[in-house]
Amino acid sequence: MAKNGAPQIEDGYTRLANELLEALCRLKCSNAEMRLALAIIRLTYGVYGRKSAKIETRELIEKTNLPGWHIGKARQKLIDRNIISISLGANQKVKTYQFNKYYKNWKELAQGPKPTPGAKIGPGGTVVGPGGTVVGPGANPTLYKESIKENIKESTGAENPAPDPAPPPEKKNPPPPYENIISYFNKLTGSNFDHRAKETRAAIRARFKSGFTEQDFYDVILCKTDQWIGDPKMIAYLRPGTLFRPTKFEGYLMEAKRRKKVTISENQRIKERSFRIAAGILRESGQEACLAYCQDKRINGEEFKQWILKNTN
């Protein structure tokens, strides 16, 4: 997602209760766990306020800028602490994530390992081992480094841990097709709106960031133009500022999709009726009369031929 460094609510926002946000502020967790939790909130509550969502790992990598193996480790910690839950259906390949807003059910961090027997905690967090050997941050730098190397060697079998893989390059999405959308709008409505207008671009950009597509804009424009173009009361509202408004666009789109389904169904019925009439003419009056009827009704000859083959077997 392209970012200009000047966030605006109009470009999309996440509704989150202050009580939950304050609980996140108090949460004791690693940097990776917090980044992953926020990314899951963004991809659930931040998209139409949905409580759960199918999220691919690549999306989490993009949102958090964490390598994949960090994602897996942090995800398991959040699951163990009852902060998130994940489900995967029998025939599903993408996991469904849900953030647990009931923060009082979150589990605390597990206690860290106990100090070595005989060791004591010294000033500044240093660990004084048996015999008075100081091996903590306040110790002699050379001795402290050697101690850290020994710990790494024992736990990983290597003197130095493997470096984190380089994060994947951030994907830059192309800008929305402002000119295509407004040109289509002007063509259908006979208007002359400028695709470079600041308010128009902001509205289109915000809808794209919310997950809508170019085809969604065309569907809304066609639907509302058909409804309002001949209505003296509504034609004044036939403008980008109304159609692309955040509180209206999704409702208009749902209406357009229902209308499209009805239109396709009706067109199919009309075509079916024309094919049946043409088939009757072919039986009763022959091929020449049938061809004349098909030309008059603009029936596609190849489609009619396929229909005949399908319905005579």
Which residues of the chain are modeled with pLDDT < 50? 1, 120-121, 124-128, 133-140, 143-144, 147-148, 151-152, 154-157, 159
The pTM for the full model equals 0.38
* pLDDT computed for residue 1 by the predictor: 46
* pLDDT computed for residue 6 by the predictor: 76
CATH class held by domain 9-105: mainly alpha
* pLDDT computed for residue 281 by the predictor: 87
* pLDDT computed for residue 302 by the predictor: 86
* pLDDT computed for residue 268 by the predictor: 76
* pLDDT computed for residue 294 by the predictor: 87
Within the chain, which residue ranges are assigned CATH 1.10.10.10? 9-105
Mapped to the 3 state alphabet, what secondary structure does the chain carry? CCCCCCCCHHHCCCCCCHHHHHHHHHCCCCHHHHHHHHHHHHHHCCCCCCCEEECCHHHHHHHHCCCHHHHHHHHHHHHHCCCEEEECCCCCCCCEEEECCCHHHCCCCCCCCCCCCCCEECHHHCEECHHHCECCCCCCHHHHHHHHHHHHHHHHCCCCCCCCCCCCCCCCCCCCCHHHHHHHHHHHHCCCCCCCCHHHHHHHHHHHHCCCCHHHHHHHHHHHHHHHCCCCCCHHHCCHHHHCCCCCHHHHHHHHHHHHHHHHHHHHHHHHHHHHHHHHHHHHHCHHHHHHHHHHCCCCHHHHHHHHHHHHC
